[in-house]
């Protein structure tokens, strides 16, 4: 199994105001899987994705990637797994504003020491970014920025691609093209894709659709 | 990994070149000012050491005549005959090519230690030329050229071991050039020799001089003064660096989060931050060291003149590159940059991986934080005030200054926040309300620059008030002390007798200036005899006196002490003072004696000649209605020694020129510090401008034009500068008080009255406003010309 959450619990706040957003969640992501997670706002979808991407730690339960239990791992180990095996796409794009498109695209691969110029160039072509390589993020539209973010997430050829509301900031037409690219490229690289989304259209294109409600995945 | 992270973080500077330039220049300025002071101090200390090494080898002490006059060669001969290891020294000023050099003549055959070592190789032909006619002058390479071509001088050779501005030669050559045949200025003696006839018996007219160590001790306060200024400049510069690095961190906050999300471990981010700071510090530090070299080279001649005028210490006018101050400059740059980075690193470490990446105003102050800052400020002020109570010396004085300045700077942001909150409550218009609220919101981001401005303004006010007070007091004091119109010094006793006879008919009065140098209460001091004359009764600058003080002195029953001695020994009026070799006399008055590092007493002239019958009777102050005619007559009739006839105006001019040069350095550092502070303001405003759009866009959308917004930015800068000046005023006056009442007393032994100069305040106020408006001009212009699309982008969240 590529990634696994076992009886994961996560709460925010303390005492009487504490809210348990995940309550003993189990999730398994196989290699090359296509998985959509939906749910109401505040239901804990992003939290679940953050735990899966090793951005956060659970209060209880276990997080495994490639069979390795990383629940108690230190920052350096978690960072290593993140940069070499996980690709992340955010709703707000989160590009580095001071780097060009080309540098943003190659950033994660370079951090992971897995930079492949040919692959990056192919990614840029597939994403329609070739004419924009010398531009800076602030000079791009939202759709273009999200395509850079997708390219960056795939530059190190991760086994697991996590996307948190990847079309949440985009118009319908752009959402469609970004969704296409995300699914196609994940398929071409063989990466498992987990998407947290409100979009029914995007969710419907996944093999598995799960809903998170009151801390429980169903 | 670190390299990649560093490149990603450093890419920020490529997109914000102006901000990088600000950071670089700020650090370079800070290091430059610090280094210049270190270079000047190092040069001066090296000069003292060189002089000390040339004139006093191991064990040798310097002895001078107790009356301060030249010593007959016979005294030296008597010492040698008695078996003492002694070596004569002749010193004087050598004029050549319009400049004045310090000429020192030594006897290379008897000079202890490394005296001949100053002559370079000191062997063979050069050594022979040194001691045989016509002799040879040794001078620093930069001095040689100026001396060559003077027909009256012997050949000049370059020696790297002679300080610039100094000239070393054989004693016979020096005597000939200075007109001191048969006399020497001092004798170096090793007093530790046992079994010889005591020095007191062989040469009773000699006393051990303070020596070069004394010069170093006396000048320490001056160097400490400079070092304090160096620190102040560095602190102001550090504010720039701290603000710039802090703001840069805020701007890179989102990138940090992204980098971590992409798998860059925390340690790599911290290492990259530290590496960036070190590289930047070394590069800017190097530029700062070069800048410091330039500033020090420009200031050194004034410093040399100051040290010569105030303390008689000789410092060359040329600056030598020394590893000490280069390393010190680079080290302080690295330490400063790391200190400024520490806060960013701490926040990077504490920043959660999922923390909001939205840029926020840096160091948004909470009420609690401002409260803590106010408590810290008060603590600094109280600690500073307590320092002179807990410790002695000039260090305690400077701790007082530091406490006052830092405390006032820390109190500034809370005070401004309070004033702005009060104003906001008082105004009613929506625009004014927004303007004040927006200013309050910006305050935390600007507070460091404002604190730097306040430090510079307070230092300017304090030092300006101190110098002004000193000048006002000093000119008044000179008028009192130099009441006589002409001062004459005879060549010998016979000439003095002739002078007295001549001036008895030609002048209104002839007042002896007879003195002897003795130990006063355990330290080198001076005893002057004073005639009973209206000149003294009417003019002498008494600080405090008993009734009938002059009568008591004239009767030989009272003694007047100078302020330095009075404060140093904690003397009281009416207290018995042990006059060396005489009875205890009652202290009847205290007089101010600016510029004299030694303790001094005045006794009646009859008492002086009774106690010290051998006192030199060559100098006189002459009262006359027509000084020019009198001087002409004296010049025509008497062959007085060089400098033996001086008019009052010349002495005053010289004294005032020494004074002005003394404070020229302080004035220059003052202006430079203010310049650095203005730069800090500019740096903060330009950096902040790039983060202000989200706050300004809604107001623009509500109907305020870009031009109005730009004008309000200028008004805000001016208003904050004005408020900062108002806060700096009491701080500056407190600083002036501390300088006059504590630091001067510790450094020089005298206290000066505080004078106020409101016109200077107004000038500085205008300067502060102008600096603030100039600093805000560029960001305001950029704002007024920003396209509407930039404002709209804020709403579209496309930024």
Give residue A116's pLDDT band: very low, low, confident or very high (50, 70, 90).
very high
pLDDT tens per residue across span B638-668: 887 666 788 888 878 877 776 776 677 777 7
CA distance B144 to B141: 5
Q: Do B4 and A110 touch (CB under 8 A)?
A: yes
Q: Do B259 and A152 touch (CB under 8 A)?
A: no
Number of neighbouring beta carbons within 10 Å of residue A79: 26
Long-range pairs for B653-658: beta carbons < 8 A, 24 or more residues apart: B655/B474, B655/B478, B655/B595, B656/B474, B656/B475, B656/B478, B658/B305, B658/B306, B658/B309, B658/B310, B658/B595
Residues 109-168 of A with CB under 8 A from B: 110-113, 136, 138, 141-142, 152
Tokens of B616: 């030199």
- DSSP string of B523-565, one letter each residue: EEEEEEEE---HHHHHH--EEEE-TTHHHHHHTTSEEEEEHHH
Q: Which of B12, B254, B799 sits opposite A94 (nearest CB)?
A: B254
Q: How far is B234 from chain A (nearest CA, A)?
A: 31
Interface test with A, best of B20, B262, B787 (most A CBs within 10 A): B262
Residues 258-297 of B with CB under 8 A from A: 258-267
Q: Please report the pLDDT score of residue B799 as a whole number.
A: 34
Residues 537-596 of B with CB under 8 A from A: none
CA distance B786 to B799: 15
What's the per-residue H, E or C state across B340-368?
Answer: HHHHHHHHHHHCCCCCCCCCCCCCCCCHH
Average pLDDT on B346-373 reads 63
pLDDT tens per residue across span B300-310: 877 776 666 55
How much of chain B exceeds pLDDT 90, in percent? Answer: 15
Q: Please report the pLDDT score of residue B323 as a whole number.
A: 84
Give residue B121's pLDDT band: very low, low, confident or very high (50, 70, 90).
very low
Q: Which of B258, B263, B798 sits opposite A79 (nearest CB)?
A: B263
DSSP class of A139: G
Q: Please report the pLDDT score of residue B661 as a whole number.
A: 67
Q: Do B5 and A96 touch (CB under 8 A)?
A: no
Contacts of B357 in chain A (CB under 8 A): 92, 94
Lowest mean per-residue pLDDT among A156-170, B28-42, B128-142, B309-323: B309-323
Q: Please report the pLDDT score of residue B289 as a whole number.
A: 92
Residue B113 has pLDDT above 60, yes or no: no
Average pLDDT on B570-597 reads 89
Cβ of A108 under 8 Å from any chain B Cβ?
Answer: yes
Q: Please report the pLDDT score of residue B362 as a whole number.
A: 41
Average pLDDT on B98-114 reads 72
CA distance B284 to B263: 32
Lowest mean per-residue pLDDT among A14-23, B30-39, B572-581, B653-662: B653-662
Alpha helices in B546-692 (DSSP H): 549-554, 563-568, 605-611, 627-637, 648-689
Q: Please report the pLDDT score of residue B360 as a whole number.
A: 43
Contacts of A79 in chain B (CB under 8 A): 260, 263-266
Alpha-carbon torsion, ordered B535, B536, B538, B540, to 10 deg: 130
Count helices and strands in chain A by DSSP H and E runs: 7, 10
Residue A167 has pLDDT above 80, yes or no: yes
Q: How far is A216 from chain B (nearest CA, A)?
A: 22
Average pLDDT on B257-272 reads 88
pLDDT tens per residue across span B586-619: 999 999 887 677 789 999 999 999 998 888 788 8
Q: Do A98 and B16 touch (CB under 8 A)?
A: yes
Residue B318 has pLDDT above 90, yes or no: no
pLDDT tens per residue across span B41-69: 777 777 666 655 554 444 567 788 766 66
Give residue B70's pLDDT band: very low, low, confident or very high (50, 70, 90).
confident
Average pLDDT on B83-88 reads 85
Alpha helices in A155-205 (DSSP H): 172-189, 200-204
* Pairs of CB atoms within 8 A across A/B: 82
Residue B169 has pLDDT above 70, yes or no: yes
How much of chain B exceeds pLDDT 70, in percent? Answer: 83
Q: How far is A58 from chain B (nearest CA, A)?
A: 14
With beta carbons less than 8 A apart as the criterion, state whether A151 and A129 touch. Answer: yes
Q: How far is B372 from chain A (nearest CA, A)?
A: 27
CA distances (Å), origin A143, targets A127, A147, A175, A198 = 11, 6, 8, 18
CA distance B611 to B77: 27
Q: Do B11 and A99 touch (CB under 8 A)?
A: yes
Residues 237-256 of B with CB under 8 A from A: 252, 254-255
Interface test with B, best of A44, A84, A97, A171 (most B CBs within 10 A): A97
Q: Do B261 and A107 touch (CB under 8 A)?
A: no
pTM: 0.65
Bridge partners, B515 (sequence order)? B528
Give residue A191's pLDDT band: very low, low, confident or very high (50, 70, 90).
very high
Cβ of B787 under 8 Å from any chain A Cβ?
Answer: no
Average pLDDT on B472-495 reads 83
Chain B residue with Cα closest to A98 = B12
Number of neighbouring beta carbons within 10 Å of residue B150: 14
Q: How distant is the alpha carbon of residue B94 from its chain centre?
A: 28
With beta carbons less than 8 A apart as the criterion, state whether B144 and B158 touch. Answer: yes
Residue B1 has pLDDT above 70, yes or no: yes
Q: Do A103 and B798 touch (CB under 8 A)?
A: no
Chain B residue with Cα closest to A85 = B263
Contacts of B797 in chain A (CB under 8 A): 169
DSSP class of B521: T
**Three-state DSSP class for A103?**
helix
Average pLDDT on B617-639 reads 88
Give residue B796's pLDDT band: very low, low, confident or very high (50, 70, 90).
low
Interface test with A, best of B5, B249, B251, B263 (most A CBs within 10 A): B263
**Three-state DSSP class for A196?**
strand
* Residue with tokens 């990634």, as numbered in its chain: A3
Q: Which of B254, B262, B357 sits opposite A111 (nearest CB)?
A: B262
Q: Which of A75, A83, A141 sits opposite B262 (nearest CB)?
A: A83
Task: Find the largest Cα–Cα distance for chain A.
Answer: 55
Lowest mean per-residue pLDDT among B225-239, B355-369, B600-614, B694-708: B355-369
Residue B776 has pLDDT above 70, yes or no: yes
Chain A residue with Cα closest to B3 = A111
- Ramachandran angles phi, psi of B604, nearest 5°: -60, 150
Lowest mean per-residue pLDDT among A67-71, B114-118, B330-334, B673-677: B114-118
Bridge partners, B137 (sequence order)? B156
Residue A216 has pLDDT above 90, yes or no: no
Average pLDDT on A119-134 reads 92
**CB-based burial of residue B403 (10 Å sphere; 0-12 exposed, 13-18 middle, 19+ buried)?**
buried
Tokens of A194: 């987990």
Tokens of B577: 């003072």
Residue A146 has pLDDT above 70, yes or no: yes
Q: Which of A55, A97, A138 sits opposite B261 (nearest CB)?
A: A55
- What mean pLDDT is reported for chain A? 89
CA distance B588 to B573: 6
CA distance B44 to B40: 6
Chain B residue with Cα closest to A113 = B1
Q: How far is A98 from chain B (nearest CA, A)?
A: 5
Lowest mean per-residue pLDDT among A33-37, A75-79, B210-214, B719-723: B210-214
Give residue B128's pLDDT band: very low, low, confident or very high (50, 70, 90).
low
Secondary element (H or E) of residue B19: helix B17-55
Q: Please report the pLDDT score of residue B168 as a whole number.
A: 85
Secondary element (H or E) of residue B261: helix B253-261
- Ramachandran angles phi, psi of B179, nearest 5°: 65, 35
Cβ of A88 under 8 Å from any chain B Cβ?
Answer: yes
Half-sphere exposure of B345 (CA within 13 A, CB side): 17
Q: Please report the pLDDT score of residue B374 as a whole number.
A: 92
Residue A68 has pLDDT above 90, yes or no: yes
Question: Of B372, B644, B617, which is closest to residue B497 (Cα–Cα)?
Answer: B617
Tokens of B500: 């007295």
Average pLDDT on A163-189 reads 86
Q: Please report the pLDDT score of residue A34 as a whole number.
A: 94
CA distance A114 to A84: 8
Cβ of B220 under 8 Å from any chain A Cβ?
Answer: no
């Amino acid at each position: 199994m590529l990634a696994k959450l076992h009886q994961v619990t996560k709460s925010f706040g303390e005492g009487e105001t504490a809210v348990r957003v995940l309550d003993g969640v189990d999730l398994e992501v196989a290699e090359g899987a296509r998985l959509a997670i939906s749910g109401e706002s505040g239901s804990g979808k992003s939290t679940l994705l953050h735990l899966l991407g090793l951005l956060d730690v659970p209060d209880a339960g276990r997080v495994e990637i490639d069979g390795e239990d990383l629940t108690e791992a230190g920052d350096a180990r978690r960072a290593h797994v993140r940069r070499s095996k996980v690709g992340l796409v955010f709703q707000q794009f989160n590009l580095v504003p001071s780097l060009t498109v080309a540098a943003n695209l190659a950033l994660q691969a370079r951090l992971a020491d897995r930079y492949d110029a040919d692959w990056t160039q192919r990614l840029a072509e597939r994403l329609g970014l070739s004419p924009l390589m010398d531009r800076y993020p602030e000079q791009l539209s939202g759709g273009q920025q999200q395509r850079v973010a997708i390219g960056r997430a795939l530059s190190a050829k991760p086994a697991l691609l996590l996307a948190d509301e990847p079309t949440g900031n985009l118009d319908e037409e752009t959402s469609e093209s970004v969704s296409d690219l995300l699914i196609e490229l994940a398929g071409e690289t063989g990466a498992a894709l987990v998407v947290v989304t409100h979009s029914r259209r995007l969710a419907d294109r996944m093999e598995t659709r799960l809903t998170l409600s009151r801390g429980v995945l169903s | 990994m670190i390299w990649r992270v560093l490149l990603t973080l450093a890419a920020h500077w490529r997109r914000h070149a102006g901000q990088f330039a600000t950071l670089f220049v700020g650090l370079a300025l800070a290091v430059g000012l610090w280094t210049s002071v270190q270079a000047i101090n190092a040069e001066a200390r090296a000069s003292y050491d060189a002089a000390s090494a040339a004139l006093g080898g191991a064990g040798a002490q310097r002895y001078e005549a107790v009356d301060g006059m030249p010593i007959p060669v016979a005294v030296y001969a008597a010492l040698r005959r008695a078996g003492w290891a002694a070596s004569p020294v002749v010193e004087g000023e050598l004029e050549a090519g319009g400049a004045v050099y310090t000429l020192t003549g030594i006897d290379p055959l008897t000079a202890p230690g490394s005296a001949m070592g100053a002559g370079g190789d000191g062997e063979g032909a050069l050594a022979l030329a040194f001691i045989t006619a016509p002799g040879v002058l040794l001078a620093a390479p930069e001095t040689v050229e100026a001396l060559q071509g003077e027909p009256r001088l012997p050949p000049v050779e370059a020696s790297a071991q002679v300080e610039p501005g100094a000239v070393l030669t054989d004693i016979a050559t020096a005597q000939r050039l200075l007109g001191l045949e048969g006399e020497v200025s001092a004798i170096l003696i090793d007093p530790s020799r046992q079994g010889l006839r005591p020095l007191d018996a062989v040469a009773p007219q000699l006393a051990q001089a303070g020596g070069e160590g004394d010069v170093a001790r006396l000048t320490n306060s001056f160097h400490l003064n400079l070092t304090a200024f160096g620190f102040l400049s560095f602190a102001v510069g550090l504010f720039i660096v701290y603000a710039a690095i802090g703001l840069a961190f805020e701007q890179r906050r989102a990138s940090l989060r992204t980098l971590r999300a992409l798998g860059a471990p925390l340690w790599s981010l911290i290492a990259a931050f530290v590496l960036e700071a070190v590289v930047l510090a070394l590069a800017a530090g190097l530029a700062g060291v070069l800048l410091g070299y330039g500033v020090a080279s420009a200031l050194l001649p004034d410093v040399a003149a100051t040290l010569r005028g105030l303390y008689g210490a000789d410092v060359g006018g040329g600056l030598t590159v020394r590893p000490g101050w280069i390393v010190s400059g680079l080290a302080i740059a690295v330490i400063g940059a790391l200190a400024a980075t520490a806060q960013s690193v701490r926040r990077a470490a504490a920043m959660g991986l999922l923390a909001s990446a939205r840029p926020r105003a840096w160091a948004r102050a909470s009420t609690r934080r401002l409260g803590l800052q106010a408590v810290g400020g008060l603590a600094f002020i109280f600690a500073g005030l307590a320092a002179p109570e807990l410790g002695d010396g000039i260090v305690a004085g400077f701790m007082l200054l530091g406490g006052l300045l830092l405390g006032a700077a820390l109190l500034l942001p809370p005070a401004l926040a309070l004033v702005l909150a009060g104003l906001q409550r008082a105004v009613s218009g929506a625009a004014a309300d927004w303007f004040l609220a927006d200013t309050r919101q910006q305050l935390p981001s600007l507070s460091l620059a404002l604190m730097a401005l306040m430090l510079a303004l307070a230092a300017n006010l304090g030092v300006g008030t101190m110098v002004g007070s000193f000048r006002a007091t000093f000119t008044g004091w000179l008028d009192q002390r130099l009441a006589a119109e002409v001062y004459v010094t005879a060549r010998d006793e016979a000439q003095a007798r002739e002078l007295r006879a001549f001036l008895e008919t030609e002048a209104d009065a002839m007042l002896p200036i007879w003195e002897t140098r003795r130990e006063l209460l355990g330290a080198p001091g001076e005893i002057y005899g004073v005639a009973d004359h209206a000149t003294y009764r009417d003019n002498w600058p008494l600080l405090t006196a008993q009734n009938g003080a002059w009568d008591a002195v004239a009767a030989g029953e009272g003694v007047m002490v100078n302020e330095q001695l009075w404060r140093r020994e904690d003397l009281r009026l009416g207290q018995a003072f042990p006059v060396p070799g005489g009875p205890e006399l009652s202290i009847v008055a205290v007089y101010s004696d600016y510029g004299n590092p030694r303790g001094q007493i005045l006794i009646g002239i009859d008492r002086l000649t009774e106690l010290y019958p051998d006192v030199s009777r060559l100098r006189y102050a002459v009262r006359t209605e027509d000084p020019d005619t009198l001087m002409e007559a004296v010049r025509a009739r008497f062959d007085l020694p060089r400098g033996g006839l001086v008019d009052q105006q010349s002495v005053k001019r010289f004294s005032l020129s020494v004074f002005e040069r003394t404070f020229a350095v302080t004035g220059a550092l003052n202006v430079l510090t203010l310049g650095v502070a203005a730069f800090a303001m500019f740096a903060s405003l330009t950096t902040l401008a790039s983060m202000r759009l989200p706050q300004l866009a809604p107001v623009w959308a509500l109907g305020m034009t870009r031009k109005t917004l730009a004008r309000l930015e200028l008004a805000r800068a001016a208003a904050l500068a004005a408020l900062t000046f108002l806060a700096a005023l009491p701080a500056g006056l407190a600083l002036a008080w501390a300088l006059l009442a504590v630091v001067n007393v510790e450094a020089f032994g005298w206290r000066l009255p505080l004078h106020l100069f409101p016109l200077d305040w107004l000038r500085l106020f205008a300067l502060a406003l102008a600096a603030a408006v100039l600093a805000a001009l560029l960001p305001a212009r950029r704002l007024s010309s920003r396209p509407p699309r930039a404002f709209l982008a804020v709403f579209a969240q496309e930024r």
